């Protein structure tokens, strides 16, 4: 049996950090002090500062800057040209698609409607709370998050996506994929994370385009639509982004509104803000 992946201490810090993010997200215009935020989460300013920096790689102040509208607009400034460049160098194929070194393949509608499709699932810690990972025989097919300890709801969310599949609980089988996704030390081109995209042709094309958006950058629904040759299909792109079953790895969190607004996220806006800020810390470190 495979050992469970060993995650850094910050994987246990998310509950506190999430409360801080929710506070910062509603009060960012007031530019709250470190003392204000620490009081909100019930920690001393020094303890909170240390915990937050360990988790995010950024101070609370820098994180706050990373998730403001002004920063979002900066991320969007060259979003269209980023996608153009990614396609120009062939990043839409199974090569280094983005920072996680992901390779992918797609299953046709006929494949994923088969009654004999077996999917294994497991629950694992992550920097953004407990995660559910779903693996097909040839790679990761789903990644979502557990809220309030409700594993049944997280599993139901995944099973609704592929209702005819057979689901088998197997933490040991999904553990390596979870480690590869969430541990930056394992983001290596010699050991890429293989994902299996199960969806319609249009959905898969949208998800492939998301893989071309680099960490620390962002794009919009309309830019993706334009890149797909369907400039009037922004709404359909939005629907496909919302159905993305492989959260974080296929970075739908990097899609923002044209105004720079963070917009919605299937796994909660606070978590989307958390992921964007966490990635900002990784880019800063790099």
| Residues known to be catalytic | 252
For residue 229, give every residue at least 6 positions away whose Cβ sits within 8 Å of its Cβ, in sequence order, or none. none
Helix (H, G, I), strand (E, B) or coil at 85: helix
The answer to whether the beta carbons of residues 105 and 140 sit under 8 Å apart is no
- How far is 285 from 207, CA to CA, in rounded Å? 27
Sequential DSSP letters for 47-111: HHHHHHHHHHSS-HHHHHHHTSHHHHHHHHTTHHHHHHHHHHTTTTSSS--STT-EEEEEE-HHH
User: Which of 65, 20, 67 lies closest to 275, judged by CA?
Assistant: 67
Q: How many CA atoms, within 13 angstroms, populate the side-chain half-sphere of residue 14?
A: 23
Edge-to-edge strand order for the sheet containing 131-136? 102-107, 193-198, 139-145, 131-136, 118-124, 166-169
Crossing angle of the two packed helices 14-27 and 45-56, in degrees rounded to 10: 100
- How far is 198 from 245, CA to CA, in rounded Å? 8
**How many beta carbons lie within 10 A of that of residue 271, not counting itself?**
21
Counting every residue written for the chain, the total comes to 286
Consecutive H or E run containing 133: strand 131-136
- How far is 104 from 95, CA to CA, in rounded Å? 9
The answer to whether the beta carbons of residues 32 and 24 sit under 8 Å apart is yes
């Amino acid at each position: 049996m495979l050992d469970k992946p060993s995650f850094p201490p910050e994987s246990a810090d998310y509950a506190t950090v999430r409360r801080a993010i929710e506070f910062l997200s509603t009060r960012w215009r007031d530019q709250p002090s470190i003392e204000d935020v620490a009081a909100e989460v019930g920690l001393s300013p020094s303890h909170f500062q240390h915990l937050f920096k360990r988790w995010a790689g950024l101070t609370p102040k820098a994180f706050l800057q990373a998730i403001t509208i002004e920063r979002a607009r900066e991320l969007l400034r060259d979003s269209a040209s980023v996608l153009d460049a990614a396609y120009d160098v062939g990043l839409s194929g199974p090569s280094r698609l983005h920072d996680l070194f992901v390779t992918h393949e797609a299953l046709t509608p006929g494949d994923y409607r088969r009654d004999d499709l077996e999917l294994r699932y497991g629950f694992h810690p992550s920097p953004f709370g407990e995660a559910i990972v779903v693996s097909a025989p040839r790679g990761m097919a789903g990644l979502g998050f557990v809220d309030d300890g409700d594993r049944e709801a997280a599993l139901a969310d995944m099973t609704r996506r592929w209702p005819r599949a057979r689901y088998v609980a197997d933490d040991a089988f999904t553990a390596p994929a979870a480690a590869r996704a969430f541990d930056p030390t394992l983001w290596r081109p010699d050991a890429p994370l293989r994902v299996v995209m199960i969806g319609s042709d249009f959905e898969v094309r949208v998800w492939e385009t998301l893989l071309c958006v680099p960490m620390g950058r962002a794009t919009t629904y309309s830019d993706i639509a334009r890149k797909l040759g369907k400039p009037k299909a922004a709404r359909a792109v939005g629907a496909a982004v919302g159905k993305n079953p492989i959260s974080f790895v296929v970075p739908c969190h990097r899609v923002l509104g044209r105004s720079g607004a963070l917009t919605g996220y299937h796994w909660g806006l606070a978590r989307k803000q958390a992921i964007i800020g966490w990635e900002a810390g990784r880019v800063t470190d790099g």
